[in-house]
Structure 1
Amino acid sequence: MALPAHAAMPLHARIQRAIRQLIVDGALGPGKPLPASRALATSLGVSRDTIEAAYGQLHAEGFIDRRVGSGSFVAEMTAFTPGRRQSPRDPQRRNQPPKLSRRGAAMFGGGGVRERLTPRPFAPGVPETRTFPLALWERLERQVRKEVGAQTLLHGDPQGIAPLRRAIADYVNLERGARATADRVLVLTSSQQALSLCANMLLDPGDGIFIEDPVYYGARRAFDAAGLECLHIPVDGQGLVVEPILAEPRRAKAVFLTPSHQFPTGATLALERRLALIEWAARHQAWIIEDDYDSEFHYAGKPTACVQGLDPHDRTLYIGTFTKSLFPGLRIGYLVLPPQLVGPMTVARTLQDGHTAPMAQWTLARFMEGGHFGAHVRSMRGVYADRLDLLESLVRRHLADFVEPRVPAGGLQMSCRLTGGLPERAAIEAAARAGIDLLGLSALHADGRGEAGFLMGFAAYTPYEIELAVRKLATALQAMRPT
């Protein structure tokens, strides 16, 4: 009754809940008499009406029987009879692992994909949000409420509202060289949802999928959870090495790529390799799953066109997201699909979350139609390029004894190879104690024993925060050196 979480509840409800829990735990067994309402009221220092209200609710819920002239008794409920059922509060029962399905065990065992609610340097993949034009966004939201009205409060189209799908198709055609139309766009809540849909709709448990090595951890976990066999293909300076795929073309029914900016190496997939994979997919009726997660931010020349735009056979599924280009809380991603997959994929997403929030979709559509999205991306591209230059110079100045930076042509993070003989795990733990987040590189490899190093995100952090964090990191790593 004294739990802080119950402090806001009426007194009779707290008493009712306390007695109910005693019954559920077996402390009050079936048939056991409860104190008379007058006696319990005196004992607890409350009014008799309060006890009567608690007993009345317990009786209505079936936990107790009330007999005129005899009093109140715990109901004869077999499910709570001691000896037939262990109490839910039994420590032995509570500590037993749950019996999950194979798919559920794979999801749980993989650890999911979790992001920090409040990122700190150098958490990767986080955009700058503090300078986002919120006033403009709020103005567009007000316009939507005024013009679209109550329609934004209802269920939305599972495929996404038409204005946003048109805006997305126009954007990827113009900026990414895609071959998209509004009717081929499926609006989702995230790229992670897109990966899960692809894994479950295109392949069966046990089927093979070629994936990059190293690879984005969220993709591997989505494919593992779907029961797929991940076949790891090495990455070099020109992206995914295609020879192993062409040597055994039937080992897998799909390939997962981050061709524009490979995660985490930053390599760009060479044109001849793109064309080879397109031909492989067409010849063997396989699928190409292309994740174009941060191609908006390219700092050295214009980014290469996406694979989907080069594929005349409609075997490529193109994944995009606004998490990196705008802000994570927006929760909007998308798939550009081959025409024959639009229907199946749209039906499948109705079994997951139904639809993406209409208000956010309408506001984003206005934001894109008004040219604000392009302007924001151009502005952030300049900001991020400056922050990358600063991070590189600071790393070379303060961390030269420990790491070798590998400056990317784009993206929101820079990879660094450990060169000072420090163990990767120990370095990351030392950084964490200093208030710095680093993502290790070795765990992104199939065997977990890849090149030692870490990723340093820079986009979300001001120049002052970057310099302060680099100095803290230098101090933390210096302290690890033997004296």
Structure 2
Amino acid sequence: MFKHSQLESVKAWLADPAQAALPLHARIQRAIRQLILDGALGVGKPLPASRALAASLGVSRDTVEAAYGQLHAEGFIERRVGSGSFVSEMAQRAPSRGQLRRRESSHVQGPTLSQRGAAMFKGGGVRDFLAPRPFAPGVPETRSFPLSTWERLERQVLKEYGYRALQHSDPQGMAPLRRAIADYVNLERGAHASAERVLVLTSSQQAMTLCANVLFDAGDRIFIEDPGYHGARRAFDAAGLECVPIPLDAQGILVERLRADPRSAKAVSLTPSHQFPTGATLALDRRLALIDWAERQQAWIIEDDYDSEFHYAGKPTACVQGLDPHERTIYIGTFTKSLFPGLRIGYLVLPRALVAPMTVARTLLDGHSASIAQLTLARFIDGGHFGAHVRAMRSVYGERLATLVRLVRTHLAGYVEPRVPIGGLQMPCVLTCDIPEQEVISAARRVGLDLMGLTGLHAAEPRQAGFLLGFAAYTPDELEAAVKTLIGVFQAMQR
């Protein structure tokens, strides 16, 4: 018969709300299995007769028999006719909880990751805002998305393609979407693209990871903007590349510094249309100089055009890829910022020589993107809905940026100074008080605000303290309430 503590342990499993979805016999079976794994029931120990255990637990004998039958099938117990049920010798091979604890401890203390795995873990990954709170950067407004139009187009796709839409898709991407993307970037971004050169991915971050692992070896040098996009730097760090920071001014990355480096590099990664996080636009003469450098060095230009749709002052400049006659530019785009994060569709426009290698490498990551979303997006673009949505959101975001600028200048003067961007979904603000950046971030998080610090976006000294304030996903009233909350954070920290 079970000891009292063992019986109580089984009863606890029966009463545990977390196990409520399991049938009674499964709860009993798992409770006894755990007693065996913990070593509370040793090899050869008898189990109570099914009738006696059923009476103690207040269940039917058939329920206990079903539990014993499953334990026997899994090898945890053996049943002897006329003698009862006993813990089997096979169960002795299962590690006890104490052994597992010791193993887990050794895993924590010992080096179990590859160098690349350790670099990925140390880098911290890229944080997404799963439930965005005020000031979370890079988050678009989704409450205004034309969901009924999207649903109608998705129904058309399912009606036309039927079960074919449920199957694997071309790893390069569905042809209708690749054509739509090529037409769009040629018209709106001044690119030089064709459907054959487009590779559909899940995100711009996946594009960065592909570039890092397909084009470069560990130890290769790559120039990066400083400050710059943390996701790119972490992808390059994880691949073992030597990231060489190049400073910026009001006209973007200082190309002369890049050209004067005696060791040069295999590539440069940059956000020329709307620099992250400063908002600067790379001047035309520097774009042309960059293209000339890449051709002379046989290096790559990795152009991340992450939110170029949202330009609030004048017309956006053409992308570098469209100016490059040598096919040394790799263009990265995404629909996460322009439509909605849950879509999970980004893309590369590649030089012809890289299409096959990049597509093959992509199959080792996730195979392909979902067909239904790709086909729906293609119709959304071709039908003019994408352009209409972007135009509407550009107006909304422009008004929200103006609101945030006014609120910051009115209420946060003395704490931060805004650096008003000409585009994008967030505004950088420089700290002008002596309160540490990280302390403000932590205090803001406790009251429901998400701030991204500027210091961590720098790769070299000097580092400028401050924050990125996202504004696109929040109404003027929400922005006003958030600014007032942030005022309270600063005031409380000055007391």
- Does TM, normalized by the shorter one, top 0.5? yes
SS of residue matched to 1:290:
strand
Name the counterpart of 2:105: 93
Tell me what 1:80 maps to.
94
Alpha-carbon separation, structure 2, partners of 1:260 and 1:278: 15
Question: When the two structures are superposed, what TM-score results if normalisation uses the length of structure 2?
Answer: 0.93
Change (3 A) 1:249 1:300: farther
Partner of 1:262: 275
Cα distance between partner residues in 2 of 1:145 and 1:163: 15
3-state SS of 2:493 partner: coil
Aligned residue pair count: 480
For the Cα contact (< 8 Å) 1:443–1:449, is it kept in 2? no
Which structure 1 residue ranges, 5 or more long, are not aligned?
none
Identify the residue that residue 9 of structure 2 maps to in structure 1: none
| Alignment partner, residue 359 of structure 1 | 372
| Distance in 1 (alpha carbons) for counterparts of 2:115 and 2:83 | 53
Secondary structure of the structure 1 residue equivalent to 2:99: coil
Q: Offset of 1:97 from its aligned partner?
A: 4.9
Deviations 1:376-416 (A, max 9, x none): 10111111111111111111111112111111011011111
Q: Which amino acid in the other structure matches residue 93 of structure 2?
A: A
User: Counterpart of 1:179 in structure 2: which amino acid?
Assistant: H
Does the 8 Å CA contact 2:245/2:460 hold for their aligned counterparts?
Answer: no
- CA drift of 1:25 comes to 2.5
Residue 350 of structure 1 corresponds to which residue in structure 2? 363
Identify which of 222, 225, 231 aligns with 1:218: 231
Deviations 1:101-125 (A, max 9, x none): 2222222221111222221211111
Structure 2 CA distance for partners of 1:279 and 1:92, relative to 1, 3 Å = closer
Partner Cα distance (1:208, 1:30) in 2: 59
CA distance in 2, matches of 1:89, 1:445: 40
Residue 34 of structure 1: CA displacement? 2.2
User: Is residue 422 from structure 1 mapped to residue 408 from structure 2 by the alignment?
Assistant: no
In structure 2, distance between residues paired with 1:387 and 1:192 = 27
Contact residue 226 and residue 460 of structure 2 kept, 8 A: no
Q: Give the TM-score normalised by the residue count of structure 1.
A: 0.95
Question: What is the letter of the counterpart of residue 456 of structure 2?
Answer: A
Question: Cα distance, 1:73 vs. partner?
Answer: 2.1
Which region of structure 1 is more displaced relative to structure 2, 162-171 or 305-314?
Answer: 305-314
Whether the aligned pair in 1 keeps the contact of 2:320 and 2:329 (CA below 8 Å) is yes
In terms of fraction of residues, the more helix-rich structure is 2
Tell me whether 1:198 sits opposite 2:211 in the alignment: yes
How far apart are residue 24 of structure 1 and its match?
Answer: 2.3
Using a 3 Å threshold, how does the CA distance of structure 1 residues 81 and 330 change in structure 2: closer, same or farther? closer
Tell me how far 1:311 sits from its aligned partner.
1.1
Between 1:249-258 and 1:206-215, the stretch displaced more is 249-258
Shift of 1:155: 0.9
Which letter maps to 2:445?
Answer: A
Which one of the candidate residues 10, 16, 24 is aligned to 2:29? 16
Q: Does residue 486 of structure 2 align to residue 478 of structure 1?
A: no
- Alpha-carbon separation, structure 1, partners of 2:191 and 2:104: 57
In structure 1, C-alpha distance between the alignment counterparts of 2:405 and 2:263, rounded to whole Å: 43
Q: Match of 2:298?
A: 285
2:19 and 2:101 mapped to 1: Cα distance? 19
Please say if residues 297 and 381 of structure 1, whose CA atoms lie closer than 8 Å, have aligned partners that are also in contact. yes
Cα distance in 2 for residues equivalent to 1:261 and 1:73: 70
- Residues 428, 440 of structure 1: 8 Å contact kept: yes
The offset of 1:448, in angstroms, is: 7.5
Cα-Cα RMSD: 1.8
- Identity of matched residues, %: 74
Residue 58 in structure 1 maps to residue 108 in structure 2: no
Q: For residue 39 of structure 1, report the CA deviation from its aligned partner.
A: 2.5
SS at match of 2:368: coil
Shift of 1:86: 4.8
**Structure 1 counterpart of 2:310:** 297
Q: Greater shift after overlay, 362-371 or 264-273? A: 264-273
Moved more, 151-160 or 445-454: 445-454
Query: Is this contact kept in 2: 1:442–1:448, CA < 8 A?
Result: no
Q: Match for 1:432: what amino acid?
A: R
SS at match of 1:479: helix
Query: Partner letter of residue 87 of structure 1?
Result: Q
Segment drifting more, 366-375 vs 234-243: 234-243
Tell me the residue number matched to 1:180. 193
Partner residue in 2 for 1:163: 176
1:71: how far off?
Answer: 2.3
* Residue correspondence of structure 1 range 244-263 to structure 2 within 5 A: 244-248=257-261, 250-263=263-276
Contact 1:25 1:88 in 2 (8 A): no
Contact in 2 for aligned 1:431/1:473 (Cα 8 Å): yes
- Structure 1 residues 348-387: aligned runs within 5 Å: 348-387=361-400
In the alignment, is the contact (CA less than 8 A) between 1:29 and 1:81 conserved in 2?
no
Q: Distance in 1 between matches of 2:165 and 2:49?
A: 54
Deviation at 1:277, TM superposition (A): 1.9
Deviates more, 1:85-94 or 1:257-266: 85-94
Aligned counterparts, 1:327-338, within 5 A? 327-338=340-351
Partner of 2:288: 275
Comparing 210-219 with 274-283, greater Cα deviation is found at: 274-283
Aligned pairs for 1:107-122 within 5 A? 107-122=120-135
Separation (CA, whole Å) in 2 of partners of 1:80 and 1:87:
10
Letter in 1 for 2:157: V
Q: Relative to structure 1, is the Cα distance of residues 309 and 249 closer, same or farther in structure 2, using a 3 angstrom cutoff?
A: farther
User: Secondary structure of 1:320's match?
Assistant: strand
Structure 2 contact 408–483 (Cα < 8 Å) conserved:
yes
**Conserved? CA contact 1:250–1:284, under 8 Å:** no
By how many angstroms is 1:258 displaced?
A: 0.5
SS at match of 2:331: strand
User: Following the alignment from structure 2 to structure 1, what is the Cα–Cα distance between the partners of residues 138 and 476?
Assistant: 17
Describe the SS at the equivalent of 2:418: strand
**Deviation (angstroms), 1:135:** 0.8
Secondary structure in structure 2 of the residue aligned to 1:66: strand
CA distance in 2, matches of 1:92, 1:134: 47
The residue matched to 2:472 in structure 1 has which SS? coil
